Structure 1
Amino acid sequence: MIDLADCYKKVRQRTDAICEPLQTEDYVVQPVVDVSPPKWHIGHTTWFFETFILKPYFAEYQEFDTNYNYVFNSYYETVGNRVIRTDRGNLSRPTVIDIKRYRKYVDDAMYNFLACGDVSDDVRELLILGFNHEEQHQELLLTDIKFILGNNPLFPAYSHSYISPKSEKMGAPFIKLKEGVYEIGFEGEGFSFDNELNRHKVYLNAFEISPDLVTNAEYLEFINDAGYHDFRHWHAAGWDWVNTNKVNSPMYWHSIEGEWHNYTYNGLEKLNLHEPARHISYYEAYAYASWKGMRLPTEFEWEAAASQFKWGKCWEWTESAYLPYPGFAKAPGAIGEYNGKFMVGQKVLRGASEVTSPNHSRITYRNFFQPELRWQFTGIRLAK
């Protein structure tokens, strides 16, 4: 049986550690709608435990501030009105200091609640969901921080002590899988999100999948071959996106005096040609695969083959729309809003990234984003 108080402490401490290098001004910036200010993340994850654990289940708890439900509710219609996402960067108040006080207040109450004795199975499930929810926001925090600092004209480093995990290119032939029926979805003990259920059978034609992610050097060949200027490789929506936004390289790439540089957590550096290409939109991933005469794998092909290659350096675009599995059912109340309401207009990503929280990745995990988004650590694995 897991120690809930210890798990709570560790997940909260990791969020604090992620924020430790930040200056006060870094906490309040929202450059685009998809990126939330770091102070909102630390407030929202605190609100989750206050709203779903303390207020309904801890009789001694006194709400910290009645306005915070409006400020830190993200998308839960069941819980009430909320600040629209585009206005999160306009919240100069509550201050960073106020939110840190809020965080400590809720933490102290949570430790008192967990010290009271055994919790019910329902509350235990909510707590574990809360831990996983905060781990999701830890990754969002890191990617949002990178976008905030990477769009600062001075390209400041987040941390000079950050070390990106090494990625070795296997250079092996494509992995071949036979046609047949494969089992897909989560099964067994431990936590999973509702969108990983239910486990079911899918029929796959024979296919091949690369053991390696596409590297910066390989993607540069696409750029140098005018890939961004050849409509034949793009979906109509992707071609419109490229031209409307004048896109000619992955996010964070900068051509300086004829040499490519890349913004990293250590600041602006010369492009590492051996690293996987990251911060790629689905549109770009599709176009690159088309240029190579290949395609992206479906999420089912990816899951069927994933035990045969290394993954986890970056999220990998698939050719699958984000849809419910057979038998998917939303939980009652606000918790049912967690995943199901987003199952339209998005593409599935598989794997994990170098900023995914420890123990938060598994082969059945289904991430999802709109096809034009690039601020996450998203990359390309080819199939044919």
Structure 2
Amino acid sequence: MATRSHSLSGQLADRLAATRRLSLDLAAPLSEADANLQPFPDASPAKWHLAHTTWFFETFVLRDHAPRYRPFDERFHFLFNSYYEAEGDRHARPKRGLLSRPSLAEVRDWRAHVDEALAKAMPNLPAATLELIELGINHEQQHQELLLTDLLAGLAENPLEPAYGELSAPACFAIGPLTWLPGREGVAKIGAVDGGFAFDCERPKHDVILTPHQIAARPVTNCEWSEFIAGGCYSNPSLWLSDGWAWVQQEKITAPLYWHGDGTIFTLGGRREIDGAAPVSHISFYEADAFARWAGARLPTEAEWEDFASGADPWLGHQLDTGGPVIPRPGGGVFGDVWQWTASAYLPYPGFRIAEGAVGEYNGKFMSGQMVLKGASCATPRGHSRASYRNFFPPAARWQFTGVRLARDA
């Protein structure tokens, strides 16, 4: 048993090192000023993402389970707590971009300090603490995606339209007609199985009833969205939910985020021509719902999408493998390119129990006012997602790589 535990610890250590290295690689092209961009209160600077993920390991693993560990800087606990009330007061979220100190170099030094301590501690940690490290790896992968999407939002505010890095030219890809696949009917099970990692909100696995339906074989494309725009759909209140129509009018929304009227889009590679064959991205739940209504369809429920994806390989598709800019591309699979909005609110499953301690604040406290997204995006680290994965954002959010796959009643 001890040998098996040591082996698992070694495998986890390798994954931890790779995850921590990827975060640094993603931040490598950034200047000090780039790393401190906070375009709006719900986004965070890249430097903060590097620091907060380090705070997570220092707080929940090293502080509580490595008796000889000494914090790198006691002040950082206040600066880089996110929303854990059990961990005390914290720096105000809308002011994270004002943290010019510590410097980016100091944050990197802190990361190295914590990484060294984790490497020394892991061989002697019990299984329950190794589970916290597994949670920390998945937590950092979430922040890797946020680092890229928050950075994109920040760079988009600059009139110089700076590029984070180079993107390859769009591939020539023909847009095939939208086809429909039959969904399962009757009793099905959704949720993560016991054993293996999953976030608490993915459990317990439970029965759902699926009525006759079909799901689109691919996501909606930029070309199809252009038709939605050309049809005057952003000014047609009959297509929109009441809250969505109020949002469109208040925010003067006329196209997906980062689209320009000349047929170009701002990306992590700078401004470029919109690829008509690629999945549409950076749309809100409100927009996805309005498009579905215009198309004579609807959004899939979370259960329909999960059952549809249960036989697909979540490691395939256009996802994040290394540092550098990313963009949705045509010809992907079920997973990757864009997170896909569902018609389901983010609510607890029957029998859901919040974990004890501060880590119990990770998911459960956000089960109000959010909609579920499924799949993965081009900025999701490969291997992070699965069919049972429950991403969630408010219905007006669209700075993430969010798109739509249609469904309809059969």
Q: Does structure 2 retain, via aligned residues, the 8 Å contact 1:297–1:381?
A: yes
Q: After TM superposition, list the pairs within 5 Å mapping 1:90-169 onto structure 2.
A: 90-114=98-122, 117-161=123-167
Name 1:236's counterpart in structure 2.
242
Of the three residues 365, 372, 393, the one matched with 1:348 is 372
Shift in CA distance, 260/28, structure 1 to aligned 2, threshold 3 Å: same
Mapping of 1:177-192 within 5 angstroms? 177-192=183-198
Could you list the per-position Cα deviations for residues 79-110 of structure 1 after superposition, in whole angstroms to 9, with x for gaps in the alignment? 11111210111112222122122111111222
8 Å CA contact retained: 2:65, 2:125: no
Structure 1 residues 21-30 or 369-378, which shifts more? 21-30
Alignment pair present for 1:82 and 2:90: yes
Is the CA contact 1:167–1:313 (under 8 Å) kept in the aligned structure 2?
no
Return the offset for 1:113. Answer: 1.6
- Contact 1:165 / 1:354 at 8 angstroms: preserved in 2? no
The one-letter amino acid paired with 1:75 is: Y
In structure 2, list runs of 5 or more residues that go unmatched. 1-6, 313-332
1:269 aligned to which of 272, 285, 293: 272
- One-letter identity of the residue aligned with 2:288: A
Q: How many residues align?
A: 379
Looking at structure 2, the residues matched to 110 and 183 of structure 1 have their Cα atoms a distance apart, in angstroms, of: 38
Distance between the aligned counterparts of 1:168 and 1:310, measured in 2?
18
Query: What is the deviation of 1:167?
Result: 8.2
Q: Does 1:332 align with 2:356?
A: yes
For 1:45-66, what per-residue CA distance to the aligned partner results, in whole angstroms no more than 9, with x for missing partners?
Answer: 0001100111111111111111
Q: Does 1:281 align with 2:284?
A: yes
SS in 1 for 2:33: helix
CA offset digits 1:270-299 (Å, max 9, x no partner) = 111111100000010011111112110000
Q: What residue number does 1:199 align with? A: 205
Q: Secondary structure at the match of 2:182?
A: strand
Structure-2 separation of matches of 1:282 and 1:368:
11
Distance of aligned partners of 1:37 and 1:163 in 2 relative to their CA distance in 1, 3 Å threshold:
farther
- Paired AA for residue 374 in structure 2: R
Determine the structure 1 residue equivalent to 2:20.
12
Structure 1: 5+ residue stretches without partners: none
Q: Partners of 1:202 and 1:88 in 2: how far apart?
A: 42
Which residue is 2:317 aligned to? none
Q: Secondary structure, in 3 states, of the residue corresponding to 1:316? A: strand
Instruction: Give the SS at the match of 1:254.
Output: coil
| CA distance 1:252–1:32, change in 2 (3 Å) | same
Deviations along 1:155-197, one digit per CA (max 9) or x if unpaired, are 1111115688998866463111242001111115421000100
Task: Tell me how far apart the structure 2 counterparts of residues 155 and 208 of structure 1 sit (CA, whole Å).
Answer: 41
Deviation at 1:23, TM superposition (A): 1.5
2:43 paired residue among 16, 23, 35: 35
| Partner deviation per Cα, 1:252-271 (whole Å, 9 max, x = no partner) | 1011xxx3101122110011
| Percent of paired sites with the same residue | 46
Contact residue 170 and residue 211 of structure 1 kept, 8 A = no
Write the letter of the residue equivalent to 2:397. Answer: L
- The secondary structure found in structure 2 opposite 1:24 is coil
The one-letter amino acid of 1:207's match is H
Contact 1:279 1:374 in 2 (8 A): yes
Q: Quick check: 1:215–1:276 contact (8 Å CA) kept in 2? A: yes
Distance (Å, rounded) in 2 between the aligned partners of 1:106 and 1:188: 31
Residue 329 to residue 375, structure 1, CA distance change in 2 (3 Å): same
> What amino acid does structure 1 have at the position aligned with 2:181?
I
Q: Secondary structure at the match of 2:141?
A: helix
Aligned to 2:299: 296
Alignment deviations for residues 31-52 of structure 1 (CA, whole Å, 9 cap, x no partner): 1011101100000000011001
Q: 1:125 corresponds to which letter in structure 2?
A: E
Are residues 76 and 216 of structure 1, via their aligned partners in 2, closer, same or farther at CA, if it must alter by over 3 Å? Answer: same
Equivalent in the alignment of 2:308: 305
Shift of 1:22: 1.1
Residue 368 of structure 1 pairs with residue 376 of structure 2: no
Cα 1:195/1:169, change in 2 over 3 Å: farther
How far apart in 1 are the matches of 2:171 and 2:69? 42
2:329 aligns with none
Match of 2:214 among 208, 211, 220: 208
Residue 263 of structure 2 aligns to a residue in which SS?
A: strand
Taking the aligned partners of 1:245 and 1:172, their CA distance within structure 2 comes to: 31
Q: Please, what TM-score do these two structures have when normalized by structure 2?
A: 0.89
Amino acid at match of 1:362: R
Q: Does 1:315 align with 2:339?
A: yes
- Give the counterpart letter for 2:393 in structure 1: F
CA distance in 1, matches of 2:33, 2:389: 34
Contact 1:49 1:130 in 2 (8 A): yes
